[in-house]
């Protein structure tokens, strides 16, 4: 049979809302128990009537009755562990105080004397009850470590309370460290503080009630968030399922159309081949007859037969046009633009943007500009993170080397890449013209070159107030002003993507690249334009996204 202590274990008697022992516990239809006031407060704070634990909803608010069995168990528990309503937190276990007078077997003390600073058992306490001089001593429930109540400086009992320092002191302290301070007897301070107990308790109950209401509100928000998330997830799955089905259907239609077109071309081609082979056979026959005729000495027969044999069967060979021509490159271009459009639409979803940006930033690289590649009109900062054009266009003579750009304001990073993925961010704030991206190692560094994909430049540019890539001169319209550019390169996949690093939105993507050389991050701050474009390009640290 279970013991009383196991039946009255605290975890069985705690309300899951206020986390305290039940007060007027009530049971609801799902079997869970709560304090009556806690449950009413929880229901009053929400729009629906549901169980705070299992979330079972009720169409109407149930009529609540106090669970008498649970109420009696809670009362017994309070009596068993002597829980006081004003005591915050769990009670510490009682510690036995032993009599200080007993010489052999120490009995438990029943009282401690603040005057004698001694604890007494029942027998040794008897003089304090009988002797007139001892009856005036202050007795209280047994207390350990009575020496702690002594003033360490004067070895006197701390009978005063310093209001200024909020410290326990003795009478001699008033003439020394606490001279001039206002102090009162401990009893007086006790009565003053004890008088505020009810107000403190009321404030504590208000705080508890506030926390209970907040708990109910947060639980409600969590429940609503869960319901909304499930609805959003279902809607997203439904939309993507339909999208996938639509794409699969379009794929099947496209494949069928390609196959049907090929069948038509094949049929027409076979007919052409049949006709051409027939004509070849006929022409070979005539050629043979002509050869035989040329050996004839019958002038009449020769002149009569030659015109017919030498005349081709048709004026021209059959048309070899086999039908409408849709090149593979054209079709691939259409499909690539379709994918880009889908990516652009997906980029509108903030969750997708955050997820993609987090994945890209996992491939962040720490770049340093290479001064050996910098045009001699450029200024590289000491930390190698900034590049700008000199205030005066006058060039400073620098040591030339094969890596340096001579004809244009260009500079590369020191590190190059031949595989994998890498990502970096560049501040372009305050500039009106610039180029940023990647280039292949073998780009022409000595002569003026139009920056294009064909010449080995995969870049985004701001020029004459328009954004465009080196792959397409079509202007790119941005919804927000670009302050920081993110560049993501997938070497193996052959893609270079440009992002607004602040809004995490895709700006443009150059696809279908075939990288065969080492790629270097590329920076061109362009001309100064009389100070209007003097702001530097700055390689910024990539924040870690969690």
> Can you give the three-state secondary structure of 36-58, one letter per residue?
HHHHHHHHHCCCCEECCCCCCEE
What would the two tokens of residue 449 be? Answer: 């070159």
Strand partners, 440: 519
What would the two tokens of residue 73 be? Answer: 């168990």
What would the two tokens of residue 427 be? Answer: 């501040």
Question: Number of C-alpha atoms within 13 angstroms, CB side, residue 296?
Answer: 15
Pair 366, 540: CB distance under 8 Å: no
pLDDT tens for residues 45-54? 777 788 888 8
Burial (CB count <10 Å: 0-12, 13-18, 19+), residue 251: exposed
Q: Could you give the CA distance from residue 113 to residue 138 in angstroms, rounded to a whole number?
A: 6
**Greatest mean pLDDT range, 10-19, 361-370, 498-507:** 361-370
pLDDT tens for residues 185-220? 888 888 888 888 888 888 888 888 888 888 888 888
Q: Could you give the CA distance from residue 435 to residue 512 in angstroms, rounded to a whole number?
A: 21
Pairing of strands 466-469, 378-380: unpaired
Better-scored residue on pLDDT, 391 or 26: 26
Looking at residue 403, the DSSP 8-state letter turns out to be T
Q: Average of pLDDT values for 295-312?
A: 82
Pair 491, 420: CB distance under 8 Å: yes
pLDDT bucket at 348, cuts 50 / 70 / 90:
low
- Distance from the Cα of residue 470 to its chain's centroid: 32
**Greatest mean pLDDT range, 87-96, 217-226, 407-416:** 407-416
> Please, what is the angle between helix 197-294 and helix 36-44, to 10°?
50
What would the two tokens of residue 180 be? Answer: 């001039």
Looking at residue 150, the DSSP 8-state letter turns out to be B
Helix residue spans in 119-196 (DSSP H): 126-130, 132-135, 186-194
Strand runs labelled E in 419-464: 421-427, 434-440, 457-463
Pair 178, 169: CB distance under 8 Å: yes
Pair 25, 78: CB distance under 8 Å: no
pTM over 0.75: no
Q: Could you give the CA distance from residue 112 to residue 103 in angstroms, rounded to a whole number?
A: 17
Helix residue spans in 15-113 (DSSP H): 36-44, 68-81
pLDDT-wise least confident of 168-177, 309-318, 409-418, 527-536: 309-318
Residue 461 confidence (pLDDT): 95
pLDDT bucket at 7, cuts 50 / 70 / 90:
very low
Q: Could you give the CA distance from residue 442 to residue 412 in angstroms, rounded to a whole number?
A: 12
Residue 539 confidence (pLDDT): 97
pLDDT-wise least confident of 201-205, 251-255, 497-501: 251-255
Pair 323, 264: CB distance under 8 Å: yes
Pairing of strands 457-463, 421-427: unpaired
Residue 473 confidence (pLDDT): 80
pLDDT for residue 376 is more than 80: yes
Better-scored residue on pLDDT, 534 or 136: 534
Neighbours of 416 (CB within 10 A): 16
Residue 81 confidence (pLDDT): 58
Q: Could you give the CA distance from residue 533 to residue 149 in angstroms, rounded to a whole number?
A: 76
pLDDT tens for residues 427-466? 999 999 999 999 999 999 999 888 999 999 999 999 888 9
Q: Could you give the CA distance from residue 9 to residue 18 in angstroms, rounded to a whole number?
A: 17
Helix residue spans in 295-327 (DSSP H): 299-310
Residue 393 confidence (pLDDT): 53
pLDDT averaged over every residue in the chain? 83
Better-scored residue on pLDDT, 145 or 370: 370
Pair 185, 163: CB distance under 8 Å: no
pLDDT-wise least confident of 11-25, 122-136, 224-238: 11-25
Pair 404, 377: CB distance under 8 Å: no
Q: Average of pLDDT values for 500-509?
A: 89
Q: What is the dihedral of CA 345, 346, 347, 349, to 10 degrees?
A: 110
Q: Could you give the CA distance from residue 543 to residue 499 in angstroms, rounded to a whole number?
A: 14
Looking at residue 433, the DSSP 8-state letter turns out to be S
Q: Could you give the CA distance from residue 161 to residue 187 in angstroms, rounded to a whole number?
A: 9
pLDDT for residue 68 is more than 60: yes
Better-scored residue on pLDDT, 336 or 49: 49
Q: What percent of the chain has a predicted confidence (pLDDT) above 70?
A: 88
Residue 253 confidence (pLDDT): 81
Residues contacting 22, CB < 8 A, separation 6+: 13, 14, 15, 33, 34, 35, 70, 71, 74
Pair 494, 420: CB distance under 8 Å: no
Better-scored residue on pLDDT, 345 or 267: 267
pLDDT bucket at 176, cuts 50 / 70 / 90:
confident
């Amino acid at each position: 049979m279970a013991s009383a202590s196991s039946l009255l274990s605290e975890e069985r008697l705690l309300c899951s809302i206020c986390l305290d022992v039940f007060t007027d516990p009530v049971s609801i239809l799902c079997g869970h128990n709560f304090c009556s006031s806690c449950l009413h407060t929880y229901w009053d704070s929400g729009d629906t009537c549901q169980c705070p634990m299992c979330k079972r909803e009720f169409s109407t608010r149930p009529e609540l009755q106090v669970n008498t069995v649970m109420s009696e168990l809670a009362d017994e528990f309070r009596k068993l562990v002597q829980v006081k309503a004003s005591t915050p937190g769990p009670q510490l276990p009682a510690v036995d105080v032993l009599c200080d007078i007993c010489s052999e077997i120490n009995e438990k003390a029943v009282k401690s004397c603040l005057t004698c600073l001694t604890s007494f058992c029942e027998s040794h306490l008897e003089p304090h009850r009988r002797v007139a001089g001892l009856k005036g001593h202050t007795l209280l429930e047994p207390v350990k470590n009575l020496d702690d109540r002594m003033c360490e400086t004067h070895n006197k009992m701390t009978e005063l309370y310093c209001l200024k320092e909020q410290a326990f002191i003795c009478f001699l302290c008033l003439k020394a460290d606490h001279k001039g301070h206002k102090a009162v007897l401990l009893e007086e301070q006790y009565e003053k503080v004890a008088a505020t107990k009810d107000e403190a308790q009321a404030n504590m109950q208000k705080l508890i009630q506030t926390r209970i209401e907040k708990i109910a509100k947060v639980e409600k928000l969590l429940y609503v968030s869960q319901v909304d998330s499930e609805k959003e997830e279902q809607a997203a799955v439904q939309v993507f399922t339909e999208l996938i089905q639509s794409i699969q259907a379009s794929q099947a239609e496209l494949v069928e159309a390609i196959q049907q077109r090929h069948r038509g071309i094949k049929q027409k081609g076979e007919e052409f081949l049949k006709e051409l082979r027939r004509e070849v056979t006929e022409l070979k026959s005539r050629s043979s007859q002509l050869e035989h005729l040329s050996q004839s000495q019958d002038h009449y027969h020769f002149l009569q037969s030659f015109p017919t044999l030498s005349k081709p069967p048709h004026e021209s060979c059959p048309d070899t046009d086999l039908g409408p021509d849709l090149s593979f490159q054209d079709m691939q271009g259409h499909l690539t633009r379709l994918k880009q459009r889908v990516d652009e639409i997906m980029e509108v979803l903030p969750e997708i943007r955050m997820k993609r940006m987090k994945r890209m930033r996992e491939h962040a690289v720490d770049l340093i500009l290479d001064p050996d590649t910098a045009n001699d009109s450029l200024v590289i900062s000491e930390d190698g993170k900034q590049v700008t054009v000199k205030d005066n266009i006058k060039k400073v003579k620098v040591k030339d080397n094969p890596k340096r750009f001579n004809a244009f304001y260009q500079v590369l990073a020191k590190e190059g890449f031949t595989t994998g993925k890498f990502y970096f961010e560049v501040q372009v704030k305050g500039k009106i013209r610039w180029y940023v991206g990647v280039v292949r190692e073998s780009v022409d560094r000595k002569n003026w070159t139009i920056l294009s994909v064909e010449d080995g430049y995969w870049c985004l540019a701001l020029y004459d107030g328009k954004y465009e890539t080196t792959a397409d001169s079509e202007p790119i319209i941005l919804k927000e002003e670009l302050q920081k550019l993110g560049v993501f390169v997938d070497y193996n996949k052959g893609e270079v993507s440009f992002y607004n690093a602040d809004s995490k939105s895709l700006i443009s993507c150059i696809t279908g690249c075939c990288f065969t050389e080492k790629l270097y991050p590329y920076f061109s701050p362009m001309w100064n334009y009389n100070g209007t474009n003097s702001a530097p390009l700055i390689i910024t640290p990539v924040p870690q996204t969690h």
